[in-house]
Structure 1
Amino acid sequence: MDYPKKTQAAPAEGQTVRLTITSRNAKAVESVTSQLLMRARDEKVTIHGPVRLPTRTLKITTRKTPCGNGTNTWDTFELKIYKRIIDLHAPTEQVKKITSFTMESGVDVSITILDR
């Protein structure tokens, strides 16, 4: 007896696009993320996220005195980086509409097309 061959369903129109939002300012990341989500919901796009990645803390410890004399006193400087990931399943034209607005300064948004 021959079993029917399994066929893959035709892929839905569009592609999966990953938006990665990065900044040193937590409020700026949250506001840009909420604007992107609001615009994506208006376009009726399938959304996965936002995924809040752990905050990356970069630390540098240096001596306070430049000459090396005196007591050993140290300064610690920190830089915190906040990151969010949003996956959208939409055609390229809709992604352009969603991401075409004025974002706050200091916020990086990178767009990656995923193969699935």
Structure 2
Amino acid sequence: MRIKIRAHDHKIIDQATQTILKTVERSGAKILGPVPLPTEKRKYTVNRSTFVHKDSREQYEIRVHKRLIDIVEPTEKTIDALSSLNLPAGVDVEIKT
């Protein structure tokens, strides 16, 4: 089973990762990870002025932090525990079996 975690804030993603790791360890499954994946950076450039002053621009950046956790031998208890887990807001979890 492979779990991908995504969030905009690195503190929240670390907290969610620790919560998942503790839950899986309590259920008795083996864990590989967490593996930090490359941070996705999206940059947006916007003109400050509406008509002239092309040289005056504002730049914004959105960062998406990612982690990967592999569960080697998941049990039914592990799957039930993960499905009923409450994670912080702003965390996207994708589970592939």
Given that 1:36 and 1:99 are in contact with CA atoms closer than 8 Å, whether structure 2 keeps it comes out as: no
Equivalent positions of 1:84-103 (< 5 A) are 84-88=67-71, 89-103=73-87
More helix by share: 2
Q: Does 1:52 align with 2:36?
A: yes
AA of the residue aligned to 1:19: I
Which is greater in Rg? 1
How many residues of Structure 1 are paired with residues of Structure 2 in the alignment?
A: 96
1:73 equivalent among 27, 32, 56: 56
Q: TM-score, normalised by structure 2?
A: 0.90
The percent identity for this pair of structures is: 26
State the Cα RMSD in Å. 1.4
Which consecutive unaligned segments of at least 5 residues does structure 2 have?
none
Q: Which is further off, 69-78 or 49-58? A: 69-78
Deviation, 1:111, is 0.5
Q: TM-score, normalised by structure 1?
A: 0.76
